[in-house]
Chains A and B, each alone.
Chain A
Amino acid sequence: MVKSSKSRSNSAFYILLGVVAVAGIGALIFLSSRPREARSASPIDPTLPPVQSEGYVIGSATAPVEVTEFADFECPACERFASITEPDVRGRLVNTGTIRMRFIDYPLPMHHNTWNASRAAACANAQGKFWEMHDLIYANQDRWNGEATSNPDKVLKEIARQVPGLDQAKLDACVDSKEMQAKIQAHYNIAQQRQIGVTPTFYIGNTKFEGALSYDEFKKQVDIAAAAAPKSAPATGAESPAKGATPAAGKTKK
């Protein structure tokens, strides 16, 4: 703002401002219309061993496509996916038998309380309540994350009280004992082995996607994977964990 030149160059200034505005709007339109999968999608290394019984599974054992999600409970993008996209994924794809989902913990070092959340979820899983706890952990991320509390176990136990039918005393004892640490470490190792760099990362068919996908993008990739899946096989992809991934999958195959 140079006042002495103001009156002389007002027109030029407004033209310049207009050019910047038009260029900015144009750049935003261009950047927002770029194909989302162009940078984040990559083929899965077929030499990696399949993910087998690890993680937590929801959905039909005979669903033609399995989606594996590597996620961190304290990661904001994972929370966004869980809160915004996942309800649609459950309602329209999981509950209709189109896919089943597998969740694998990848607690990132930068998140102070994420291991506590993973252990609490694993403790709920021991009572068959993983997905209920998963949803509540994400919905209450702002209450137990590293910025909110230095005693996350206390908050996570409180959150667990909202899970219907959960034996609270058992969960509390499980959380306090840290008995699920090895399980979470195993999940972490799986993600490390696959060089997962971003959370959430999804395996859909033979392709890896980094970042929180919108429902439309997710559905599109599921459709592609389903079209490529052999009709007789219960799941797709070289990494497909469906073959014997869960006891149910083994029993119901063919």
Chain B
Amino acid sequence: MAIAVLALVGAFIGLYLTLYKLGVIGTLACSTIGNCETVQLSRWSTLLGVPVATWGVGYWVSVLAIAMAGLQERWAESPGLSLALCLLTGWGLLFSAWLTYLELYVIHAICIWCVTSAVLATLVFVLAFLDWRETGPARAG
């Protein structure tokens, strides 16, 4: 359940940054720490022609969908679902770590929204891993 709530928050952050990239939002609300626009206007803010924030929306919606599916009666006992969530959030964590590395050592600017998203990705992975360890391997074995 916590994963679903965190994923929804992550999806809204991604949506916000996507709206900025599309020009719907003129300036980013950013704390005094770092420089959101430097990060969002850098060349690393797009991947394969699509804003990284939009990929983020896709990621968080996928996590939300799997987490919600896990709450349904028919899939509640599915070890495969726990494993899928664990793998997906693990990949998300690695991707977030790479983005954070780019901010710190390549772009030399910090985007507080990106950092928040990275923290969410870490929390979600920890929760998914604990859930999988509790139910997944035991059932699979």
On chain B, the residues within 8 Å of A198 by CB distance are 37, 41
Bound complex: CA of A21 vs CA of B5, how far in Å? 9
Bound complex: CA of A1 vs CA of B19, how far in Å? 30
**Within 8 Å of chain A (Cβ to Cβ): is B71?**
yes
Q: Are B1 and A31 in contact (CB under 8 A)?
A: no
Bitwise interface map of B from 1 to 31 toward A, beta carbon under 8 Å scored 1, else 0: 1111100110110011001000111110100
On chain A, the residues within 8 Å of B26 by CB distance are 34-37, 40, 211, 214, 217
On chain A, the residues within 8 Å of B131 by CB distance are 1-3
Residues A17 and B4 in contact in the complex (CB < 8 Å), given A28-B12, A110-B42, A212-B23: yes
Output the least CB separation between B1 and chain A (Å). 5
* Most interface-central of A13, A31, A32 (chain B CB within 10 A): A31
**Within 8 Å of chain A (Cβ to Cβ): is B67?**
yes
On chain A, the residues within 8 Å of B127 by CB distance are 1
Bound complex: CA of A32 vs CA of B26, how far in Å? 7
On chain A, the residues within 8 Å of B24 by CB distance are 32
Chain A count of residues within 8 A CB distance of the other chain: 44
Q: Are A36 and B4 in contact (CB under 8 A)?
A: no
Q: Are A6 and B12 in contact (CB under 8 A)?
A: no
Q: Are A76 and B67 in contact (CB under 8 A)?
A: no
Bound complex: CA of A5 vs CA of B71, how far in Å? 10
Bound complex: CA of A10 vs CA of B4, how far in Å? 12
**Within 8 Å of chain B (Cβ to Cβ): is A146?**
yes
Q: Are B12 and A32 in contact (CB under 8 A)?
A: no
Output the least CB separation between A236 and chain B (Å). 23
* Most interface-central of A21, A37, A40, A76 (chain B CB within 10 A): A76
| Nearest chain B residue, comparing its CB with the CB of A21 | B8
Residues A80 and B2 in contact in the complex (CB < 8 Å), given A17-B8, A24-B12: no
Q: Are A20 and B76 in contact (CB under 8 A)?
A: no
**Within 8 Å of chain B (Cβ to Cβ): is A122?**
no
Contact size range, B: 35 or more
Q: Are B8 and A31 in contact (CB under 8 A)?
A: no
Output the least CB separation between A44 and chain B (Å). 19
Q: Are A24 and B9 in contact (CB under 8 A)?
A: yes
On chain A, the residues within 8 Å of B16 by CB distance are 27-28, 31
Bound complex: CA of A142 vs CA of B25, how far in Å? 24
Q: Are A2 and B2 in contact (CB under 8 A)?
A: yes
Bound complex: CA of A32 vs CA of B23, how far in Å? 10
Bound complex: CA of A38 vs CA of B70, how far in Å? 44
B135's partner among A3, A9, A38 (CB-CB below 8 A) is A3
| Nearest chain B residue, comparing its CB with the CB of A148 | B43
Q: Are A74 and B43 in contact (CB under 8 A)?
A: yes
Bound complex: CA of A111 vs CA of B43, how far in Å? 8
**Within 8 Å of chain A (Cβ to Cβ): is B45?**
yes
Residues of chain A at the chain B interface (Cβ within 8 Å): 1-3, 5-6, 9-10, 13, 16-17, 20-21, 24-25, 27-28, 31-32, 34-40, 74-77, 80, 84, 110-111, 142, 145-147, 198-199, 210-212, 214, 217
Residues of chain B at the chain A interface (Cβ within 8 Å): 1-5, 8-9, 11-12, 15-16, 19, 23-27, 29, 37, 41-43, 45-46, 49, 67, 70-71, 76, 85, 107, 127-128, 131, 135
